Amino acid sequence: MKFTLSWLRDHLDTRASVDELCLALNRIGLEVESVEQLGAALAPFRTARVLQAVQHPNADRLRVCQVDAGPGIGEVQVVCGAPNAREGISVIFAPPGAYVPGLDITIKAGKIRGETSNGMLCSLRELGLGEDTDGIAELPADTLPGQSYADFANLDDTVIEIAVTPNRGDALSVHGVARDLAAAGVGTLKTFLAETVEGVFASPVEWAISYPEACPWVLGRTVRGVKNGPSPDWLREKLEAIGLRSISRLVDVTNLLSIDLGRPLHVFDVNRIKGGVLTVCRGGGETIRALDGRDYIVNSDDCVIADGAGVQSIAGIMGGEATEVTDATTDVFIECAIFDPVKIALSGRRLGIHSDARHRFERGVDQALPVAALEAATRLVIDLCGGEASEVVSAGTQPEWRREASLRFRRVAELGGLAVPPDECVTILGHLGFETLRRDEDSVTVAVPSWRNDVAQPVLLDPDPGLSAERQAELVAKVAAIEPECDLIEEILRIKGLENVAPVALPALSPVPAAAISPALGRVARARRVLASRGLMETIGFSFISHEEALRFGGAPESLRLLNPIAADLDQMRPSPLPGLLSAAKRNAARGWPDVALFEIGGAFDESGQATVAAALRAGRTPRAPGGGGLPMTFAEAKADAIDLALSLGVAAEALTTTADAPSYYHPGRSGALRLGPKAVLAWFGELHPSVLKEAGVDFPVTACEVFLDRIADPKRRRKNAPALSPLQPVRRDFAFLADKETAVESVLRAVRGAERNLIVGVSLFDVYEGPKVQEGSKSVGVEVTLQPRDASLTDAEIEAVAARIVAAVAKATGATLRS
Which of the 8 DSSP states describes residue 350?
Answer: H
Nearest Cα to 663, choosing from 558, 602, 578? 578
Confidence bin at 625 (pLDDT 50/70/90): low
Superfamily for 40-152? Nucleic acid-binding proteins (2.40.50.140)
How would residue 802 be classed by pLDDT, with cut points 50, 70 and 90? very high
pLDDT at 463 (0 to 100): 61
The domain spans of the chain are 2-38+157-189, 40-152, 206-396, 405-500, 519-711, 731-818
**Distance, C-alpha 272 to centroid of its chain:** 40
Instruction: Write out pLDDT tens, residues 387-428.
Output: 999 999 999 999 999 999 999 999 999 999 999 999 999 999
The C-alpha atoms of residue 223 and residue 235 are separated, in whole angstroms, by 20
Q: Is 260 annotated as a binding residue?
A: no
Q: What pTM was estimated for this model as a whole? A: 0.64
Domain 2-38+157-189 has CATH 3.40.109.10: no
Q: What DSSP string runs through 698-716? A: --S-EEEEEEEGGGSPPPP
Judge whether 233 is annotated as a binding position: no
* pLDDT score at 652: 84
Q: Give which of 168, 187, 182 is closest to 430, Cα–Cα.
A: 182
Does 731-818 match 40-152 at the fold level?
no
Domain 405-500 is found in CATH 3.40.50.1110:
no
Model pLDDT, residue 758: 87
Nearest 5°: the CA angle 732, 734, 739 is: 145
pLDDT in tens, 197-206: 999 999 999 9
Reduced to 3 states, what is the DSSP secondary structure of residue 267?
strand
For the domain with range 519-711, which CATH number is right: 3.30.470.10, 1.10.10.10, 3.30.930.10, 3.40.50.720? 3.30.930.10
State mean pLDDT over 444-466: 79
3-state SS, residue 359: helix
Predicted confidence (pLDDT) at residue 601 exceeds the cutoff of 80: yes
Between 722 and 488, residue with greater pLDDT: 488
Q: Is residue 637 annotated as involved in ligand binding?
A: no
Architecture of the domain spanning 731-818: 2-Layer Sandwich (3.30)
Q: How confident is the model at residue 737 (pLDDT cuts 50, 70, 90)?
A: very high
Can you identify the CATH homologous superfamily of domain 206-396?
Answer: Phenylalanyl-trna Synthetase, Chain B, domain 3 (3.50.40.10)
Read off the pLDDT band of 33 (50, 70, 90): very high
pLDDT for residue 646 is more than 80: yes
CA dihedral (335, 337, 341, 343) in degrees, to 10, reads: -70
Strand pairing of 158-162 and 32-37? antiparallel
532-571 pLDDT, tens digit per residue, is: 999 999 999 999 999 999 999 988 888 899 888 888 889 9
Exposed (0-12), middle (13-18) or buried (19+): which is 289, by Cβ within 10 Å? middle
Residues 6+ apart with CB under 8 A from 473: none
Query: Which residue has better confidence, 260 or 504?
Result: 260
**Coil vs helix vs strand at 655:** helix
Q: Is the pLDDT of residue 459 over 60?
A: no
Cβ atoms 572, 632 nearer than 8 A: no
For the cut 70, the answer to whether the pLDDT of residue 770 exceeds it is yes
156 is in an annotated binding site: no
Q: Nearest Cα to 582, choosing from 700, 670, 680? A: 700
